[in-house]
Structure 1
């Protein structure tokens, strides 16, 4: 064994050629325990075929040793021979000490093949055979979580947590927090996030914590956590939008805008950050930056309808009707469309005295907004001014059905009729 250990040490010290040559020679005369050790190291170093050859030799001599079957299955998985690995694992007897381990490994293999129910059955069988095995609770929790069944995963994570807050390198509190947050139980998630970051302040956990605090309307906590993330990992681009929104909720608009600018330094073509910079600029009364960032957002993605509609709204408010038409028709030339475009174009072209076009847009908008009182009132007055008095009356009557308190419209109808 001493010579084998020396050969292994040579490989691990960087003298691979010399060490592997020595091991090859020693294999011929090694006993079975030594061969198993050599196979383990071959597998560890990536010489999977060599490991397979040794393990198969050992199995031929020890056909009842379940540990060898598990080892061979792991080797076969590395060789992308999952079906063979499953066949090997199914040969392990129920009274074998590694039977539970084999069930968990089978569950992993079936999950890899997309056979969720079979994987679940294997784990539930393992759970039945050994009720207090933490690793099986963890495997079930991970299985349910990976398939979006978070309500099923949480009780199993809780059982794991009773035996420790980390397993297989996984922060269990973080897993429970993510599960609660994903199911919309934001309040329940927060204390688990608090415990998770005590163990480790990694970027993903901090981001999840910050977003969950924001969604739970704990805006100060969201700011605190996301600012910490920004300090820890300023290139984590996803944090900036939520941090900006949290500052907005706290009525700190200038801070919100500055955060958005920081985010755009990290990811200059992020359309959401760009759009939001325009939106916050509008709230600050900064017309120049409002237009600048809203136009930039549309430029990044002409299909970003929210940005287009906000830009149109801004231009209408500024009575820049030619710019409204240019903006919306440009976006429509890319094949993008929203019903609101018709209403906005109808209004803008009416103001530009392009009455025929305006009428066409209003008629198309009517299909979508015939139950919107503001639209019907605007459309009715347009029709009246365009000389279509009878059609205007019909539109005003529809308006009165929706809003009977419009007495001035009722009087107007009487006058028209």
Structure 2
């Protein structure tokens, strides 16, 4: 096939115009063998429209040839014409040797469309025709994993691993590890991650290994893998929050906090990094830094309720009542207000001697915290200070019912009852 080789050489050397002239000559007057071989080569080189034209020309002569229909379908898929590819694949006769391959391709196309049952039917039919073909087992494993059917996926990957550890450039041990991990058997997944990494050091596999080790409670192993990943790719953003969590579990919140600050340098718009950094800063006694982190998180997402609640907890501890109310006002601008802010506002107004506002906030909060002991204590003593003793009796009656052995509640209730009586 000297003419085909000449065209390929021209393409490799950048002589595209000459190659195009040679292609047109073969398309119009070449032999069918030349058209077939050139079509395959052009497909590999990414000249898809030209490959398509050659395969279509061949199908004018061999309209039922399965091998050509498969090649045309693959070309159409690469061109983003999935529906046309399906129509071509459906033309292949069941007795054609390319029929099982067409079923696998169809299954992949239907899987891409979310038609999992149809995809499974195609693959099971192909499996029946070629029971020992591991590519079909692998395709089934991929389908089941995407569906969340991890037990079935694991069984398929196990069959593949009996003869192959790699399919189409994909490490099957890594796929097996991901499926086992996703199914919740974290410790069982680790040896497969080890095998995958022994075969090829790949950053996503390394991250998944570290994350799975963290889930399994092997914090030291997780730290080791995340640090290795950090060395290879410091801009792999997801590692920082997980590495910090591993350090926290190892009771090294300071190191976790420093890791999060590193992560923020690479991912400065990640609200979760700021929020978690604030929590670890609090844990290490850095109240000022914690406040800054919480405020930065809220600047990125004003509706990040958890950050606002934690910040308010710090501000209440510091007796910064006006700042507490500022946070409450910000959160009230959102679509739905977390009920804890009513309680926070009540305490802040009470300490600022805004007693009518405090009473209103306590009453609003009561609807949500009428069975919460700490809230009832705050509310009850506020009512006593405001001289609302009958209502205070109701509150301390509830407290005694919640904690009958609490002598303080009983004494206060007795005094209130005597006064009211």
Is 192-201 or 135-144 further displaced after alignment? 192-201
Residue equivalent to 2:274: 274
Once residues 194 and 257 of structure 1 are traced to their aligned partners in structure 2, the CA distance between those partners, rounded to angstroms, is 29
SS of 2:131's equivalent in the other structure is: coil
Once residues 170 and 133 of structure 1 are traced to their aligned partners in structure 2, the CA distance between those partners, rounded to angstroms, is 16
Residue equivalent to 1:304: 304
Residue equivalent to 1:375: 375
Gapped regions of structure 2 (runs ≥ 5): none
Residue equivalent to 1:77: 77
Residue equivalent to 1:65: 65
SS of 1:259's equivalent in the other structure is: helix
Once residues 32 and 135 of structure 2 are traced to their aligned partners in structure 1, the CA distance between those partners, rounded to angstroms, is 30
RMSD between superposed Cα atoms in Å? 1.9
Contact 2:278 2:291 in 1 (8 A): yes
Contact 2:26 2:35 in 1 (8 A): no
Once residues 380 and 393 of structure 1 are traced to their aligned partners in structure 2, the CA distance between those partners, rounded to angstroms, is 8
Residue equivalent to 2:254: 254
Residue equivalent to 1:150: 150
What are the Cα deviations for residues 277-322 of structure 1, in whole angstroms up to 9, with x where unaligned?
2211211112221222222222221111111111111111111112
Given the alignment of the two structures, is residue 338 of structure 1 paired with residue 338 of structure 2, yes or no? yes
Contact 1:8 1:23 in 2 (8 A): no
Report the CA distance between 1:336 and its aligned residue. 5.4
Once residues 299 and 78 of structure 1 are traced to their aligned partners in structure 2, the CA distance between those partners, rounded to angstroms, is 43
Instruction: Kindly report which structure 2 residues correspond to 1:49-198, keeping only aligned pairs within 5 A, or say none.
Output: 49-198=49-198
Once residues 397 and 333 of structure 2 are traced to their aligned partners in structure 1, the CA distance between those partners, rounded to angstroms, is 36
Once residues 414 and 4 of structure 2 are traced to their aligned partners in structure 1, the CA distance between those partners, rounded to angstroms, is 107
Contact 1:103 1:123 in 2 (8 A): yes
**How many pairs are equivalent?**
417
TM-score, normalising length from structure 2? 0.94
Contact 1:303 1:336 in 2 (8 A): no
Once residues 410 and 352 of structure 2 are traced to their aligned partners in structure 1, the CA distance between those partners, rounded to angstroms, is 29
Instruction: Kindly report which structure 2 residues correspond to 1:275-290, keeping only aligned pairs within 5 A, or say none.
Output: 275-290=275-290
What are the Cα deviations for residues 301-347 of structure 1, in whole angstroms up to 9, with x where unaligned?
11111111111111111111122112222332344521111111111
Once residues 260 and 53 of structure 2 are traced to their aligned partners in structure 1, the CA distance between those partners, rounded to angstroms, is 59
How has the CA–CA distance of structure 1 residues 25 and 63 changed in structure 2, closer, same or farther, with 3 Å as cutoff? Answer: closer
Once residues 297 and 60 of structure 2 are traced to their aligned partners in structure 1, the CA distance between those partners, rounded to angstroms, is 67
What are the Cα deviations for residues 27-50 of structure 1, in whole angstroms up to 9, with x where unaligned?
444222112112223333444444
Once residues 37 and 112 of structure 2 are traced to their aligned partners in structure 1, the CA distance between those partners, rounded to angstroms, is 29
Once residues 46 and 199 of structure 1 are traced to their aligned partners in structure 2, the CA distance between those partners, rounded to angstroms, is 29
Residue equivalent to 1:399: 399
How has the CA–CA distance of structure 1 residues 113 and 290 changed in structure 2, closer, same or farther, with 3 Å as cutoff? Answer: closer
Once residues 35 and 59 of structure 1 are traced to their aligned partners in structure 2, the CA distance between those partners, rounded to angstroms, is 11
Once residues 85 and 321 of structure 1 are traced to their aligned partners in structure 2, the CA distance between those partners, rounded to angstroms, is 67
TM-score, normalising length from structure 1? 0.94
Once residues 330 and 114 of structure 1 are traced to their aligned partners in structure 2, the CA distance between those partners, rounded to angstroms, is 42
Contact 1:302 1:336 in 2 (8 A): no
Residue equivalent to 2:413: 413
Report the CA distance between 1:168 and its aligned residue. 0.8
Gapped regions of structure 1 (runs ≥ 5): none
Contact 2:104 2:136 in 1 (8 A): yes
Contact 2:64 2:91 in 1 (8 A): no
Residue equivalent to 2:31: 31
What are the Cα deviations for residues 335-389 of structure 1, in whole angstroms up to 9, with x where unaligned?
4521111111111111111111111111111111111111112211111111111
